[in-house]
Structure 1
Amino acid sequence: MNDTAPSQCPMHDNIDRRKSAKLAEANVQPDEGARWVKTAEIARKVLRSKKSLQAGAGAEYMTADNPEHISVFFLDGEDHANKKRKTQRFLSPKAVSDQHFKVMTDFTNVLLEEFQKKGSDNLEDISFKLAVEVVGEILGLTDSDRAGRAHRIRRVMEETIVKPKQGIAGLIQKCTQISLIGTFYWRDVRPAINARKKSPKNDALSYYIEEKYPVKSIIIECLTYGAAGMMTTREFIVMAAWYLFEDEALRDRFMQGDTKDQLAILMEILRLEPVAGMIHRRLHEELPDFEGETLPSGELYGIDLRKSNVDEALVGECPFALDPDRAKRVKDLGRYMSFGDGSHSCPGWQVALHETRIFLELLFKVPGIKLAREPDISWHQEVVGYELRNAVVTCDKKD
């Protein structure tokens, strides 16, 4: 726990209790040559500019003959806007309430029933299975065995979102990645494609087939959604649960609150503990007032989401205090910079929040629920975010 000296604050002690703060301080930094943006005002200027291009995570090296067949994550400008309009319907508030709520609730109940029969389980495993099922429903990856699909996706994510190795080690790494992606395609993607060709549904895969996406593009979409919607949601579910387990008053408010209040609590936890620490943009216009100077077009910026989220100019006084009423007081939606901003802000943010909300509400209703072991926290350098592992939850065992 990182307890820094409190400032004078009329409402809270303002002690920095962020669980990932020390790790982030040691690891979050921009790519080489990038300007480090630490304030919310400049961050929003960069992210909301119409001439701000996606950078980092290989975006600047991604090319495609047909923009329609490349992930929306790697597109910019009109290509990005057009693609986003076509695919946003799978992540819209209407889709979340009409279609995804049921999957979130039903599968959470399945997972918690299994948990109660065992009496003990690893929280990261439960949350990852849920994330795989929810994102799988959005994508259309629903025609293979659930347990195997979760295992295969986990292995692909673990082996592909890593720093490339050199020499023989790099060759072995590449072969492993190709093998895992191939297995994922044959066991999970291909059966889903065949099923959707026979009977299309309201999911992304049916859309990709309708638009005649090549197989490679479909796999890229599945892996991109996997990284964005499965890995990050898994970490946040564990982090939010950790906060609620150790703060009885906050947990009581969450359990007694309506949907709006529950979301306010979760967004405030996420403000303090954003899963992604930094994103990059290349801005093709001049940016005035950057620490007293005007920067030329073409500059690369590293947007520090964590520092922006505790910038008093954005979030108000006592930035380190966990205050679910903060957003209402500062007249903000409560997202702050946790999901990015501008055209490339996270399109699935509502899915992630409601998935977490539904899971935690049902989890804390389980008789005898306890956090028997707090998670180990480490840092994923390629994702630029924290990882939480080995959190053990126990409950009254069900016969």
Structure 2
Amino acid sequence: MNAQASSSGGVRDDRKTAAFIAENLSPFPVSRVAHDFAFAREILRTPGVNQGRGVASQDFGNPDHISFFFLDGEPHRKRRSSVASYFTPKAVLTRYRPLMDRTMDELVAELQAKGSGVLDEMSLRLASNITAEVVGLTNSDGRRLAQVLRDLMNKNPALGKPRLYQFLHGIFAGWYYKRRTKRLMDELYFEHILPAAEARRKEPRDDVVSHMAKENYSRQAMFIECMTYAGAGVSTTREFIVMCCWQLFDHPDVMERFLKGDESDQFAIIDEILRLDPVANYVYRQSSIDIPESVSGSPVKPGEEFAVNIRDVNTDPSIVGENPFKLDPERAQRMKNTGAWMSFGDGPHRCPGSQIALHETRVFLDRLLRVPGIRLARKPDLILSVQSQGYELRGAIVTCDRR
């Protein structure tokens, strides 16, 4: 199923992925699932409720080289503060916006020359270019880097399939994917990370690779840091851009409003689309403290695990108002919510690059949808992503007038 019915029993439903996720994805075995906004916010904001599924306890070697994404508490706050300059509004406007414009110039020119394009490949190019700039992987072939990151993040196609399928796939094809992954990992390090690190040792910049080179990160730590940024900055943004295109092509009135609106109007539409179809469905946490008077009505105990259902939280009527499944660009203003609901998480681990992702998406949409003759010739296929606990969108094709 590609989309929900436009209405059911008089209730409008503009979500594209809700039924697919409900049918194919369940949370990891945990004690409790947070479905409402108030309880989710409590779980995500309370000190002592940390990242779940053992993420923070993994051994990455030197503790000083652990990515801030995996830290909690004061160590997380200090490390996150040290990279804050990468994500400021000034950085978006002065460092990343010119690159967004140049990339879109290339993508639009290629699209018009050919007359068609694959949306997820186009969004991958933009997301990879911007993430490479943030990280500092700018001393190698950017197009090849995007392909390597794509192939590494695709990983093993058996993930998420029935256990018998995984077992048989492991016997007959496991060796191939292990060898393939090893080759891609070596290529990422030797062809992209290492040249950037050597360049930054001679001429440091304000980026992640410069920090890693200065602190003498190990090969493993550098690889993990780069892949963490890739997962956060490339894979989710790639999917979300395609989702926005899909929704706007299906809602010409909203597309017209987007193209006629100013930046604030455009961001409101983007936030509303992300509210309905967040790329990641679950965020996991584990409590190390007692919360005897939780807003949920039941006390929280140390060791208890939680899955925050972002999709349910984003459609909680107590926060979003009536018709929670309707695409309504005026919702945030009416409900006096100026953020992106909980689509980027909340609390100390809220996505640090959310503003970059929103600007990338706005620039992509504003340029693509103004191309003469642009239309959606093929809708995307929905694919389950176990890694992101959400969806992927593949194979959507746009066509336009050729030049």
TM-score normalized with structure 1 length: 0.93
The structural deviation recorded for 1:101 is 0.8
CA distance in 2, matches of 1:346, 1:224: 12
For 1:103 and 1:396, the matched residues in 2 are separated by 25
The reply on whether 1:184 has 2:188 as its aligned counterpart is yes
- Who is 2:144 aligned against? 148
Q: Which residue of 1 aligns with 2:268?
A: 264
| Partner of residue 10, structure 1 | none
The answer as to 2:336 corresponding to 1:367 is: no
The alpha-carbon deviation at position 55 of structure 1 amounts to 1.4
Amino acid at match of 2:221: S
Q: 1:62 aligns with which of 58, 75, 90?
A: 58
In 1, the alpha carbon distance for the partners of 2:158 and 2:220 equals: 20
The answer to whether structure 1 residue 355 and structure 2 residue 355 are counterparts is: no
Is residue 299 from structure 1 mapped to residue 301 from structure 2 by the alignment?
no
Q: Cα offset for 1:103?
A: 0.8
Q: Report the Cα offset of residue 83 of structure 1.
A: 0.7
Residue by residue, what CA displacement relative to the aligned partner does 1:89-110 show, whole Å, maximum 9, x if unpaired?
1112221112111111111111
Instruction: Mark the CA change 1:231 to 1:49 in structure 2 (over 3 Å): closer, same or farther.
Output: same
Q: Pick from 91, 95, 98: which aligns with 2:91?
A: 95
Task: Mark the runs of 5 or more structure 1 residues left unpaired by the alignment.
Answer: 8-12
Aligned sequence identity (%): 41
Corresponding residue SS for 2:50: strand
Cα separation, 1, equivalents of 2:280 and 2:60:
27
User: Paired residue for 1:229?
Assistant: 233
Give the letter for the 2:125 counterpart: K
Q: Residue 329 of structure 2 aligns with which residue? A: 324
In 1, Cα distance between the equivalents of 2:334 and 2:206?
39
Structure 1 residue 231: Cα displacement: 0.7
Give yes or no for contact 2:286–2:305 (8 Å, CA) kept in 1. yes
Q: Distance in 2 between matches of 1:137 and 1:291?
A: 42
Q: Which residue of 366, 372, 379 corresponds with 2:384?
A: 379
* Secondary structure of the corresponding residue to residue 274 of structure 1: coil
1:61–1:242 distance in 2 versus 1, CA, 3 Å: same
The amino acid of 1:303's aligned partner reads: V
The 3 A distance-change label for structure 1 pair 62 and 387 is same
* Alignment RMSD: 2.0
Secondary structure of the 1:53 match is strand
**Aligned position for 1:280:** 284
- SS of 1:97's equivalent? helix
Cα deviation for residue 17 of structure 1 reads 2.2
State the 1:31 CA deviation: 1.3
- Report the equivalent of 1:33: 30
Gaps of 5+ in 2: 161-165
1:47-86 correspondence runs (5 A): 47-56=44-53, 59-86=55-82
Shift of 1:206: 1.2
**Matches for 1:238-249 after TM superposition, within 5 Å:** 238-249=242-253
Shift of residue 179 of structure 1?
A: 2.1
What whole-Å deviation, never above 9, does each CA across 1:64-105 have from its counterpart, x for those lacking one? 453330111111111111110001211122211121111111
Match of 2:163 in 1: none
